[in-house]
Structure 1
Amino acid sequence: MTCRELIRRASESFCAAGIPDPVNDAALLLSHLTGRPPLALRLDEETVLDPSVIDSFKSLAEKRLSRIPLQYLLGEAPFYGRMFRVDSRVLIPRPETELLCEWALELLKDRSSPRILDLCCGSGCIGISLKAELPSASVTLSDISPDALDLAAENASLLGADVALCRSDLLEAFSGTSFDLIISNPPYIPSADCDTLQEEVLREPRLALDGGNDGLSVYRRIVREAFPRLSPGGFLLMELGISEDEAVSALLSDYGYESIQIREDLSGIRRMILSTHP
């Protein structure tokens, strides 16, 4: 069977199963096995694939049909120009979170040796990216999940990022420590909505998704616990769930944060919120 024919057959099965972007997924799975670019494989009507490759592809395709996320099958996901290892221990990095990194870099561009905490770090994609872009920064990755921290450590090693790692239930482990930036993509989906998510998202760690009854439980703690751990003029920068901007803004304002700003993602969703310690 040729590359193009195998991709065609798999994409038809994916489409019938309701998998988004079926041709792209099929081509990426075959690219993962062959090392060839996905577009070249989609156009290749001549190369006859080895039966062992076909068997391996079919195994991956069956897993994709069971709605295991593509990134977990590939074992990696792109983020801010780098590839990060991902698996079921962590949330898959999303493109909108790259905008959070861009905002952080804007904020810190004139600060020498800033102290950064990536809170709820998961794969470590935010903190490791900031360290790569700001080599003089002191970056700490923190998560309550030891499994997530293990994977974050792998990514830091693979990408040559000299970062600290700390297991902590939010900011409990950082008493007496101050940061110039605390950045976080926290769990923010209301508990009742977690069971109604896309099937692929249901394969991701619930701990990284569930934000409590109203989706704001983790924000409440972060707002309270981050305040004494920010240096004067330090920044708290967080990703937001859909329609949570007003509620989180009120939490920040009530606690005494200043200069609250909100930015939209590329879809026009109010996705990020910044506040400053007075």
Structure 2
Amino acid sequence: MKRLPLRLALLEATRQLDDAGVASPRTDAELIAAHVLGVDRGRLPLVPLVDPPVVEAIGRIVAERAKRVPLQYLTGYAVLGDIAVEVGNGVFVPRPETELLLDWGLRQIKGREYPVVVDLCTGSGALALAVAHARPDAVVYAVDNDPHALAWARHNADRRAEAGDTPIRLYTGDVTDDTVFAELDGLVDVVLCNPPYVPEGTEVPPEVADFDPPQAVFAARGGLAVIRHVVTMAARLLRRGGGVAIEHDDTHARAVPPLLQARRVLTDVADHPDLAGRPRFVTARRA
């Protein structure tokens, strides 16, 4: 069986994905190839030749990706921080932008022993589980109101616990309910949240429109409905000096910071850009 150049397979995959309108065709082509080969993407240059069945397997996944099926659905997982979580129908796929939220949260608890961290609107559990992995001494709580998302979060939490990570504390609840985590009022070091924030009626890519649960993407009142409740909840949960970080739409740079500034107990309100320079998340501290 004659082996084939992986480079040519990647070029063809990139062309197909580009023609299909995929936003990052080369990156996706390489991630698909790495998935099929079972290697890290960075090691692909060390695999110059592959067997024909490998090229065929890459081609099958590329064909599905060209239909705008999310890459994470095809590989079965999404990466956040140093962990991977399983994703699929019924749960929001974590985005690379949320890495910045995670990094900020971990910096806030650096040097603090046994920090208490709360992840609101946890979805797949990725953010909470990434914190627990990075800080085994942390007490991490996570909550969501969607039973389908919680099923994925529980599955991922069980997998991470089996891998040796500190278990997280997963709850059913809604951020609009002022009794959720009432026992933690004034005790939390960091509140993190990637809520639904896309304004209703916004046109989104097929990967989002056709696969992500709408309730995990869109929010009423210009995309701010859920964020308003998250701000209220964070203000009561945080201890003195504790911090909150909330991801938001790139159109919210002037809308979200004032929501935190309006809370007298919150200070040092700042908005932060994502890797593309777009406004992406807001932070504040409990005075």
Same fold (TM over 0.5): yes
1:235–1:39 Cα change, 3 Å? closer
**Offset of residue 55 of structure 1:** 5.5
Residues 267/38 of structure 1: CA separation in 2 closer, same or farther (3 Å cut): closer
1:20 aligns with 2:27: no
Q: Among 248, 251, 275, which residue is 1:243 paired with?
A: 251
Q: Structure 1 residues 33-42 or 104-113, which shifts more?
A: 33-42
State the partner residue of 1:174.
Answer: 181
Structure-2 separation of matches of 1:222 and 1:185: 10
Structure 2: stretches of 5+ with no match in the other structure:
none
Per-residue deviation, 1:235 = 2.3
State the AA in 2 paired with 1:199.
Answer: P
Question: Is 2:198 aligned against 1:189?
Answer: yes
Question: Structure 1 19/164 Cα, relative in aligned 2: closer, same or farther at 3 Å?
Answer: same
> Is 1:222 aligned with 2:230?
yes
Match of 1:2 in 2: 4
Task: Give secondary structure in 2 for the equivalent of 1:93.
Answer: coil
What letter matches 2:278 in structure 1?
A: I
Partners in 2 of 1:263 and 1:24 — Cα distance? Answer: 25
1:160-171 to 2 correspondences below 5 Å: 160-170=165-175
1:191–1:211 Cα contact (<8 Å) kept: yes
- 1:231 maps to 239
Name the amino acid aligned to 2:239: S
1:154 is matched with 155
1:208 paired with 2:216, answer yes
| Cα distance in 1, alignment partners of residues 241 and 149 from structure 2 | 30
| Secondary structure, aligned partner of 1:88 | coil
What are the Cα deviations for residues 83-111 of structure 1, in whole angstroms up to 9, with x where unaligned?
22222332222222111122112222233
CA distance in 2, matches of 1:267, 1:24: 16
Per the normalisation by structure 1, the TM-score is: 0.86
Q: Report the secondary structure of 1:95's partner residue.
A: coil
Choose 64-73 or 143-152, whichever is displaced more.
143-152
Distance across 2 between alignment mates of 1:2 and 1:221: 55
Comparing 154-163 with 1-10, greater Cα deviation is found at 1-10
**1:28–1:256 CA distance, 2 compared to 1 (3 A):** same
TM-score of the pair, normalised by structure 2: 0.84
Q: Are positions 1:266 and 2:275 aligned together?
A: yes
SS of structure 2 residue aligned to 1:176:
helix
Deviations, residues 206-259 of structure 1 (Å, cap 9, x unaligned): 111112131111111112233333333332221121131332222222232322
What is the letter of the counterpart of residue 167 of structure 1?
T
The residue aligned with 2:76 is 75
Gaps of 5+ in 1: none
- Superposed CA RMSD in Å reads 2.5
Q: Which residue of the partner structure matches residue 97 of structure 1?
A: 98
SS at match of 1:246: coil
Paired residue secondary structure (1:71): helix
Alignment of 1:32-181 (within 5 A): 32-36=35-39, 46-50=49-53, 56-159=57-160, 160-170=165-175, 172=177, 173-178=180-185, 179-181=188-190
CA–CA distance in structure 1, aligned partners of residues 108 and 71 of structure 2: 34
**How many residues are matched?**
274
Cα deviation 1:115-143 (Å, max 9, x = unaligned): 11100111222211212222221101111
Q: Percent identity?
A: 30
